[in-house]
Structure 1
């Protein structure tokens, strides 16, 4: 009976995983700040700044820049993971990511090519949590007391901890 209940409990999870949420347009996504969404967008142009930051222009050319309420940005340090973006000019794309405020409008950060296929963005650790740690250090990134040596070399029985036996 327990296995049947477990199967019935997990069945809705398998059905929801088989049918992912549909993508929404960028106007609806702009209202969902701090939410992980999939958007449908038409890329009219790919703009690259002098510092290497790239933008997918998803607003029609006749829309003034101040009226465009959504942007998709790819940073220079993510260029290798994202790949070439000019191939998406004048095409429809589906991109998954977190909607966040950026540059006076809402937008999405494109940090990995798998976002075009429903995958998650690239993991970026919080720099405030990694204070004082770099990958080439031998010490652990957290100050866990269980990872620190407590005194000198300890054997199973320390010679300083002698018990007096009765009768001695």
Structure 2
């Protein structure tokens, strides 16, 4: 019994030791297209006329043109994200994919779970869904192998 308890404690320490490393906003661009943890201070919450919100994580004395990272939340995600005003002046830890846009990194905030280590809300690629309708019963993407007509080659054909 003691051996089992020791093994559980050791494995618990191992899991705790493999915690995800968080990066500062200045390092975000080095991790473009990666799912990372960002640790930052929110200096301001800015809302645009179209409902897009930004968490400003750059020091106020830094000119806007020199700010290389921002956290963006779209209007359509407001329900899943919730109120952001409470994060103003707070240190946050957020998880998400860093998208590179020219010389700036952008992390899309589309679910409140991201503040607690959860993943972004999955969004299907609209290009893959083009022409799909649940009523027509067709596939959600265009696959040449599923098209009718014409002659098909197969590497699995055997000679008779």
**Structure 1 length normalisation: TM-score?**
0.71
Q: CA shift at 1:135, angstroms?
A: 4.7
Alignment correspondent of 1:33: 32
Distance 1:117 1:15 in 2: 21
The 8 Å contact of residues 130 and 141 in structure 2, kept in 1 or not, is answered as: no
Alignment correspondent of 1:133: 132
Number of residue-to-residue matches in the alignment: 137
Unaligned 5+ segments in structure 2 are 1-10, 148-160
Distance 2:141 2:24 in 1: 42
Give runs of aligned pairs for residues 11-160 of structure 1, distance below 5 A. 15-16=14-15, 19-102=18-101, 104-135=103-134, 137-142=136-141
Unaligned 5+ segments in structure 1 are 1-11, 149-168
Q: CA shift at 1:144, angstroms?
A: 7.6
Q: Which structure has the bigger radius of gyration?
A: 1
Distance change in 2, residues 1:137/1:77 (3 Å) = farther
RMSD: 2.8
